[in-house]
């Protein structure tokens, strides 16, 4: 049914408009009293739980940052079957993001190009909202992803991240430093080791007891991935998220004219799967087994999630396939993982 709805209606809407329509429905689930019923229908049918970061995850599959930028639909998303929900990217200063249009579907590739630009209402506003969610029974694990405000130069990035950290670490189950979005000028330069080490050390100190992870780009070289993984261990991070969107357009099936119209931005979805898996294996070969590694990029099915777990991922996230698979996507993955677990 969702495939028919997507083909006949949603695919004809502007992608950002379609996102907001779906988001409003998901956000309303708790308000209309459907959360508990929905959760019973979407949770795993066997024990898939994972304990990591000092936290308990009912399922290894969660929602990546970018869908719920301001933490407005955490409870509704948890009801749909995601074991954890990572909100953001949030910045110290509220900002509108890049001019529209800024979100584009590449349907033949089951992919998306976005240049949203960290549009969000700011860390302080989100912190107040998330504080109300934090003590709700049965909520999903709550991750908070933070980035650099656009109005702040790279030289002042540490202070900017620290503002967000101090506001959001107290209401987060885990915190993520995003230095890998291609849509904020200068941000990816923070992945250079001489800039990344002092940033991560400062945020780690400010975050206190809240577990801290760093999210990296797929466009790093293999050697750069290894060096950042080693740095994560050196500064005593709790984990790494791999990977963010890519600036590559290699191997796409979508007509070149459509890709050119979409323009600059990060590509996510199925074309990212192979590189994301490569980066996961590089990281897992570099870091100790105790370090949490969250794999994201091109994940669509339960088999994809199982492959990432077998390759060393502690947890797995998805996002783009939500657009193509619909609101029961997490349920489908949980049920497929449950079947795979039952026969193993």
Q: Which two structure tokens, joined as six digits, stand for 217?
A: 């780009």
Residue 288: exposed, middle, or buried by beta-carbon count in 10 A (0-12, 13-18, 19+)? Answer: exposed
Provide the pairing of β-strand 212-216 with 239-242.
Answer: parallel
HEC string of 88-117? EEECCCCECCCCCCCEEEEHHHCEEEECCC
Q: How far is CA 170 from CA 124, 143, 159, 174, 207, in A?
A: 12, 11, 18, 9, 8
DSSP 8-class letter at 48: -
HEC string of 264-277? CCEEEEHHHHHHHH
Distance CA 219, CA 279 (A): 10
Cβ atoms within 10 Å, residue 234: 11
**Catalytic entry in 35, 149, 180, 181:** 181
Does residue 290 have an active-site annotation? no
DSSP 8-class letter at 156: G
Whether residue 89 is preceded by a cis peptide bond, meaning omega within 30 degrees of 0, is yes
Asked whether 77 and 98 are in contact (CB, 8 A), the reply is no
Per-residue exposure over 196-230, b if at least 16 CB sit within 10 Å of its own CB, e if not: beebbbbbbebbeebbbbbbbbbbbeeebbbbbbe
Residue 90: HSE in the Cβ half-sphere, 13 Å Cα cutoff: 31
Question: Quick check: helix, strand or coil at residue 301?
Answer: coil
Active site residues: 181
């Amino acid at each position: 049914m969702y495939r028919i709805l997507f083909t006949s209606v949603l695919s004809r809407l502007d992608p950002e408009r379609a996102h907001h329509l779906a988001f409003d429905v998901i956000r309303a689930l708790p308000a209309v009293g459907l959360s508990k019923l929905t959760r019973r229908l979407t949770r795993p049918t066997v024990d898939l739980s994972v304990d990591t970061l000092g936290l308990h995850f009912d399922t290894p599959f969660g929602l990546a940052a970018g869908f719920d930028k301001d933490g407005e639909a955490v409870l509704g998303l948890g009801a749909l079957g995601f074991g954890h929900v990572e909100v953001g990217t949030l910045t110290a200063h509220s900002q509108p993001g890049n001019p529209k249009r800024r979100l584009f579907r590449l349907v033949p590739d089951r992919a998306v190009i976005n240049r949203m630009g960290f549009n969000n209402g700011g860390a302080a506003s989100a912190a107040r909202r998330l504080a109300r969610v934090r003590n709700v029974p049965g909520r999903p694990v709550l991750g908070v992803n933070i980035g650099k405000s656009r109005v702040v130069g790279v030289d002042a990035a540490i202070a900017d991240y620290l503002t967000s950290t101090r506001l959001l670490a107290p209401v987060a189950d885990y915190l993520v430093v995003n230095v890998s979005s291609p849509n904020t000028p200068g941000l990816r330069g923070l992945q250079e080791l001489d800039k990344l080490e002092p940033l991560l050390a400062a945020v780690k100190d400010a975050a206190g007891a809240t577990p801290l992870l760093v999210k990296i780009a797929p466009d790093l070289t293999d050697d750069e991935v290894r060096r950042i993984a080693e740095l994560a261990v050196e500064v005593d991070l709790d984990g790494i998220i791999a990977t963010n969107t890519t600036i590559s357009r290699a191997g796409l099936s979508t007509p070149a004219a459509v890709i050119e119209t979409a323009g600059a931005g990060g590509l996510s979805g199925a074309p990212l799967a192979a590189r994301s898996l490569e980066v996961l294996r590089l990281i897992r070969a570099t870091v100790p087994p105790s370090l949490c590694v969250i794999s994201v990029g091109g994940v669509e099915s339960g088999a994809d999630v199982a492959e990432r777990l077998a390759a060393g991922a502690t947890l797995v996230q998805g996002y783009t396939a939500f657009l193509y698979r619909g609101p029961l996507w997490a349920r489908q993955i949980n049920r497929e993982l449950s079947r795979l677990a039952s026969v193993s």
